[in-house]
Every structure is written in C-alpha cells, then in structure tokens.
Structure 1
Amino acid sequence: MGLFGNYDTPGRGVLKTPHEKRPFFKFWEVYFRHMWQLMGLNFIYFLFIVPIFVMLVMITETGNMKWLLLMLISGIMGPASAAMTRVVRNYSQERPTFMLHDFRKAFKLNLKQGLIMGYIDTIAIVSFIVGVPLYSTMAQKNSIMYVPYVLCLSCMLVFFMMHFYIYPMMCSTNLTMKQILRNALFLVPIGLKKTLYTLVSSLIIILFSYLLLVLPSTMPAGLTLAMFFPFTFVTFIACFNCYPVIRKHVIQPYYDKLGEQNPEDATDNEEEALFEDKAAEEEAVPVQKKQRKKTIK
C-alpha cells in the first residue's frame, strides 16, 4: 500500500487518459486555480459598465431623462463583454492566456459586433425594466393583461439565456451578428440541461449581489463584491457549461463540412502524443544475473 493509494494492482500501468473528475469538482478546481486573475478581470470589466449602473439608478430612482445620454456610451459594454468572455473561456477550458493582452486583443477584434450587441442589450434592459412593472400593474386591473405580462417575462428569460451562447460565439467564431443571435436562440433548447444549470446558478449569484447592493447596511460590501466577483463568476459558469455545446453544434460541424480537423482536437492530439503510453507493446525484460550495483556520482 502506497502513501497516497494502492499501486500494487496488476494491469498495463499508468492510464493514457486519467479518469476525469466530476464536472462539479472540476469546475471548482479550475475556478480556484484562476480565481485571482478572474477577480482582476472582473474589476476591469466593472469599469466599463459603470454607465449602465448610473443609467439604471436614474431610471428607477430619479426619473431624470439624462439617462438617454448614457445610452450613447453604454454600447461599450458589448466589446468589453466579448473581451471578458474570451479570457474567461480560455480559463474555463484551461487554455494558456495572458489576461491583459488577450483582453485588449479581443476588445479590438470584436469592437463592431460588440457595439451592436451592447446597444441591443441596453435597449432590452431598458425595455424590460419599464415593461415588466407596467404590465404587472395593468394585469392587476385587467386579467387579460397577464398575457403580455407573461410574454414579457418569457422573452426576458430567453434573452438572458441566449447570452450564455452569444458572447462565447462572438469571440470564438467569424459568424455574423444575425447568425450568432439565431444560433444562440437554437442552442438554448439544444443544450437545455446545461442551460438551466447555468440559469439557476446565475440567478442565485445575481439575486445575492443585488440584495447586498440594495440593503443600506450591506451596500459597501455589495459594491466591493460587484467590483471583484459576480461578472466573471457568472461568465465562468456559462463558459464552463455552455461552450462545449457551442463546440459540438457550431464549431465542429464547420470543420466537418470542410473536411478539416478542428484545431482544438489537433492540439489535444499533439499533447497526447508527447505522453503516449506504449506499455502494452513492450516486451518482457529478460532476467539477468545479479550484478554488483553501480554508484552514480
């Protein structure tokens, strides 16, 4: 019996591919390995979305129409989201990455599509913030208005789940914005199990962060948490769960259609080749007579 396990079991020796850990344990292992980098990345991203926070406060608290001016610069959160997602995706898939360099590079490459998506997100956020309470109030007076109220909530939920695929596809493919949105809509039900896991986890994190920000006694802690934790953590959950769905149903079919090998698979094969185990092909070592041991100096 060895110190950390039993190595006396007969067999072919070390397995070529060691047993994979359960996704839950692998998730936390990979996350904690890159936790400090993800916290730094969260702070960088937080600086880009400050206008959104200010705009939401103006809409919900003051009613000041100056938030319309903030909408003009709020689109910048799109390229920032794409850049953050690119870095987080690399961490979640355990690819080598340099945080600041890759963030700047992804920001530039996805600037156009990111701005478009940023403005779409801004319009959608404002619409849902205004529409959901409005339909709720109208439904209390007229029951028939529960129909648009439920439709509005359903659209908001689906649109939120589409983001588990939109930004990972944006930073991983050369698809057009129309193709990205269409694929994201289809991937939500295709990867339903992983989508729902991601949705529940994300809503818990968002609700917890929101409560800390709303309550006066916990607002300083909530603001500190928002600066270093929730955005990259939710994105990490989405990339860890949903990027394999994108790879299977979007990226791999593209290379299959061209008859080419997926570069990600090629990288895996090269790594495996370096450590290829040929124990089964080795011949038994003939027994030799005992000789005097040599001393290595």
Structure 2
Amino acid sequence: MGLISNMFNYSKPGPGVDKEERQKRRFFLFFELFFRKFWKLIQLNLLYVLFWIPPLIAGTLLTPYNATLAYLAFFLVGTFVAGPATAGAVYILRNFATQTPVFLLSDFFQQFKANYKQSALAFLFNSLALFACYASYLFYGEYMDMGFLNYVFKAMVLIMALLVLFETFHTFLMIVTVDLKLKDIFKNCFLFAILNLVRNFCSLLFAVGFLWLEYKFFPLS
C-alpha cells in the first residue's frame, strides 16, 4: 500500500535536475532561444531601427559642416527616441531570455513610456561620457607633448572608455528590471563593469567578432 500511495502522491518532490546538467543546458540555451525566436528578433530589430532614423538624419545633415557637431547631434536626438526605444527592446530581449511571455508591440511601447526619463538620461550620459573619452584621447595624442606621460594618460582614457562601455551592457537591463534611482543604477552598473570584467570582455569580443563576420561575408559594397 505504501508503494502504491507513493506512486500517486503528486505532492511529493521529485528528484529534480542535476546541477551540472542544468548548467550544461544553459550553455546551449542561447542558440536554442535564438533559433526559436528568430523571426521575433527580426521584427524587434526592424522596430528598433526605426527609432535610429531621426538621429541618423540629424548626424548626416551636419556631417559636411562639422564632424564633432554631427556626433553630438546624433546622440542628442538619439536621447529622445533611441534611448527609450533601447529600454523597450531590452525588456523584450530579457523576457525572451527568461522565457517569459511577452507581446512585442504593446510591451515595447509600454516600456518605452514607463522608462522614458531614465532611459533617455542614461543614453545621454553614456553618449557624453564616450564622447569625452574620445575627445580626451585626441587631446593627449595631438595637443599635449609630455613624452611618456602622454601614453599614461591615453591608457587611462582607454580604461575609462572600456568601463563606460561595459557599464552600458547593464544599464538598460537594470532600468527595466529594478525600481532604483538613476544614480544607484549607474553605481551598480559600474560595479558590474568591474566585477564582471572577464564576462564583459567576452561579450565585447563576441560582438566584435560577430560584426567582423557580418562585414566579411555581407559587405555593404
């Protein structure tokens, strides 16, 4: 009787999933989700690209006059459209990754509105920070002649640029995930940029490698 009752006792916990097996499966989960959500990803990218058209137009119109002004116009216009759109896109991607049901259009625009202020300010801060790193690198390379110190300052600028870049990997994900003030989000993201240095480097190398393959096999000209 005990054996039979145990067979039909559905409240009894099962053996579960082995820890090593679960971790091993996660290794392939990225590609599994990529192919499963392939057409949804295409739709999301087409929607996301639309919000980059205004900053591209602004930057293109000003490029013949001043490259620096064109860069600033590109990111200033992008602050008001591409920044919040990034929050919407990241929210959709996060739900794809966690396999949480999501409605692409409605959830995208809901997150666009709900996180508009924080995502716009985050986009503006990151853009200006990267521009400051770029300008500083040029300054120490072309306008300052301090010998060996030039290389020291340029190395420091490159490190700061990498930290800002790694911080952007986490910013919008945290904006759509947790309810924190923007300064606390930046603080946490910079901590993640430092503490997850190896993972951030791997993510950067993966992105660069993917772009290189795209350029190699699907050139624009």
**TM superposition score normalised by structure 2:** 0.77
* Shift in alpha-carbon separation, 1:149–1:60, aligned structure 2, 3 A: farther
For 1:202 and 1:115, locate their aligned partners in 2 and report how far apart those are by CA, in whole Å.
24
Aligned to 2:197: 192
Equivalent pair of 1:110/1:171 in contact (CA under 8 Å): yes
- CA shift, 1:53, in A, is 4.1
1:90-239 equivalences in 2 (<5 Å): 90-138=95-143, 142-208=147-213, 211=215, 218-219=219-220
Instruction: Identify if the C-alpha distance between structure 1 residues 206 and 120 changes in structure 2 by more than 3 Å, giving closer, same or farther.
Output: farther
- In proportion to residue count, which structure has more helix? 2
Q: Residue 39 of structure 2 aligns with which residue?
A: 36
State the secondary structure of the residue aligned to 1:17: coil
Structure 1: state its 5+ residue gaps.
1-13, 221-297
Q: Which amino acid aligns with 2:39?
A: W
Q: Alignment partner for residue 74 of structure 1, among 78, 83, 95?
A: 78
Structure 2 Cα separation of the partners of residues 72 and 162 of structure 1: 19
User: 1:124 and 1:55, CA in 2 relative to 1: closer, same or farther beyond 3 A?
Assistant: farther
Q: Shift of the alpha carbon at 1:111? A: 0.4
Q: Note if contact 1:139-1:149 (Cα within 8 Å) is conserved in structure 2.
A: no
- Moved segments of 4+, more than 6 Å: 58-61
Query: Cα deviations across residues 38-85 of structure 1 (Å, max 9, x unaligned)?
Result: 121112112212344456667877525763544442202211111111
Three-state SS of the structure 1 residue aligned to 2:220 is helix
- Name structure 2 gaps, 5 residues minimum: 1-13
Aligned residues: 202
Rounded Cα–Cα distance in structure 2 between residues aligned with 1:54 and 1:144: 40
Contact 2:88 2:112 survives alignment (8 Å)? yes
**Structure showing greater Rg:** 1
User: Displacement, 1:121?
Assistant: 2.5
**How far did 1:135 drift?**
3.0
Deviation sequence 1:6-45 (CA, Å, 0-9, x none): xxxxxxxx85437424433221111111111112111211
- Larger deviation, residues 134-143 vs 184-193: 134-143
Give, in whole Å, the separation in 2 of the partners of 1:157 and 1:87. Answer: 26
Query: Once the two structures are aligned, what percentage of the paired residues are identical?
Result: 24
* 147 and 138 in structure 1: CA distance in 2 versus 1, 3 angstrom threshold: farther
- Shift of residue 110 of structure 1? 0.3
Change beyond 3 A, Cα 1:74–1:109: same
Residue 284 of structure 1: aligned partner: none
For the aligned residue pairs, the C-alpha RMSD in angstroms reads 3.0
